Amino acid sequence: MELFKPLNVQPSEDKRTSSLKENVRCLIIGSGPAGYTAAIYAARANLHPVLYTGMEMGGQLTTTTEVENFPGFPEGVTGPQLMEQMKKQAERFGTDIRFGVAMSADFSHSPLKVTFDDGKTVEAATVIIATGATAKYLGLEAEKKYAGRGVSACATCDGFFYRGKDVAVVGGGDTAAEEATYLAGLCRKVYLVVRRNELRASKAMQQRVFNTPNIEILWEHQAVDLFGEEVVEGAVLVKKKGTPGEEQVRIKIDGFFLAIGHTPNSSVFSKYLETDAAGYIKTVPGTSKTNVPGVFAAGDVQDPHYRQAVTAAGSGCMAAIDAERFLAGS
């Protein structure tokens, strides 16, 4: 195993080139709970981590309001506040936090190289990828208009705020089935808006949905708009869209949940890293190790199942410890 050796940066005539190159022990990409937790651990282990935030500083939690399920905050905390706290904690131990987006990578040999949108290439002995996943939206204008005011892509995060209310979940896969069943335990009624006349979800999940009395499945319906004064008060659906039997339906709801899948933000690295069919980076079970020595993955970019802030943070911790051990040659 090749241990870290400081790169011999040759003095260059071209100042711009030399300032655009750098060598670090631990490069962390992403500023969600996984990235910041990796930074806290790596910094405390004296790895002098450099963390690039990505486009959405703070990650997906910055788009949620109240977070009530992150341990240690009995009164709850807002997503942006939680991320600010994590950032400060990472900075306290000396993490070099920079705003920037990874544009390309070369993991063909050591040192590992990642180039950012400002043109800078960072050479690193270890790289922790914590770039997260992006929830898919339908692309309606109304989804932006009511973001954080009735529109959510995470039932586990936001479902609690809709206790006793009526909500809709869009999607027909395992996530939609799981979220609809979860919400049914909190809400008065859950509409499951399914674009086809069958669910993609596993048979077991389908059965749970069918057996839940307060879930109503709206087969062959597509959401086309939302309405409401300040917050979501209802959705406009089209039944059998594009057929002679097409019909518009309006439902009154307080919450509109998207569950039509996530896209892991792994494309920049996919030339070198093994991913599953959906693009989630594969790790050696029980570790954060990818197929490339020295490259580790943490958080939602490698997790199609749990996708929680606390699981992301836990895997960020694992990645920093794995990186430290890699550098130590053990």
Query: Where do we find the tokens 């960020």?
Result: 316
Q: Which stretch binds ligand NDP (CB under 6 A): 115-123, 175-183, 239-247, 288-296?
A: 175-183
Identify which of residues 255 and 261 has a Cβ nearer to ligand NDP in the complex.
261
Residues 248-287 touching ligand NDP, rule: CB under 6 A, are 260-261
The whole-angstrom separation of Cα 102 and Cα 115 is 6
Is there binding between residue 159 and ligand NDP (CB under 6 A)? no
The CB-of-296 to ligand NDP minimum distance in angstroms stands at: 22
CA 126, chain centre distance (Å): 22
Residue 309's nearest CA partner among 42, 147, 68 is 68
Active site residue 317: no
The CB-of-149 to ligand NDP minimum distance in angstroms stands at: 21
Query: Where do we find the tokens 């309405």?
Result: 227
The CB-of-225 to ligand NDP minimum distance in angstroms stands at: 14
Catalytic residue among 26, 157, 187, 317: 157
| Cis geometry, peptide bond prior to residue 111 (ω within 30 degrees of 0) | yes
Identify which of residues 1 and 138 has a Cβ nearer to ligand NDP in the complex.
138
Query: Where do we find the tokens 């936090």?
Result: 97
Identify which of residues 130 and 177 has a Cβ nearer to ligand NDP in the complex.
177
The full length of the chain comes to: 330
Identify the DSSP state of 61.
G
Is there binding between residue 145 and ligand NDP (CB under 6 A)? no
Q: Which stretch binds ligand NDP (CB under 6 A): 159-167, 193-201, 231-239, 288-296?
A: 193-201
Is there binding between residue 77 and ligand NDP (CB under 6 A)? no
Active site residue 158: yes
Paired tokens of 285: 């079970």
| Residue 166 to residues 126, 145, 183, 195, 227, Cα–Cα distance (Å) | 48, 20, 9, 20, 14
Identify which of residues 40 and 194 has a Cβ nearer to ligand NDP in the complex.
194
- Is the Cβ–Cβ distance between 231 and 254 less than 8 Å? yes
Q: Which stretch binds ligand NDP (CB under 6 A): 101-109, 143-151, 152-160, 192-200?
A: 192-200
- Is the Cβ–Cβ distance between 32 and 130 less than 8 Å? yes
The CB-of-128 to ligand NDP minimum distance in angstroms stands at: 23
Is there binding between residue 173 and ligand NDP (CB under 6 A)? yes
Is there binding between residue 300 and ligand NDP (CB under 6 A)? no
Residue 79 C-beta-side C-alpha neighbours within 13 Å: 19
The CB-of-93 to ligand NDP minimum distance in angstroms stands at: 35
Identify which of residues 26 and 194 has a Cβ nearer to ligand NDP in the complex.
194
Catalytic residue among 26, 117, 118, 158: 158
Considering only 143, 178, 254, 324, the residue that binds ligand NDP (CB under 6 A) is 178
Q: Which residues contact 177 (CB under 8 A, 6 or more apart)?
A: 192, 199, 201, 202, 205, 206, 208, 209
The CB-of-58 to ligand NDP minimum distance in angstroms stands at: 23
The whole-angstrom separation of Cα 82 and Cα 59 is 11
**What residue is closest to ligand NDP based on CB?**
173
238's enclosing H/E stretch is strand 234-239
Is there binding between residue 95 and ligand NDP (CB under 6 A)? no
Active site residue 154: yes
Q: Would you tell me how many other CB atoms lie within 10 Å of the CB of residue 186?
A: 16
98's enclosing H/E stretch is strand 96-98
Residue 283's nearest CA partner among 326, 315, 328, 325 is 315
Identify which of residues 58 and 172 has a Cβ nearer to ligand NDP in the complex.
172
Catalog residues that contact ligand NDP under the rule CB under 6 A. 138, 170-176, 178, 195-196, 200, 260-261, 304-305
Active site residues: 154, 157-158
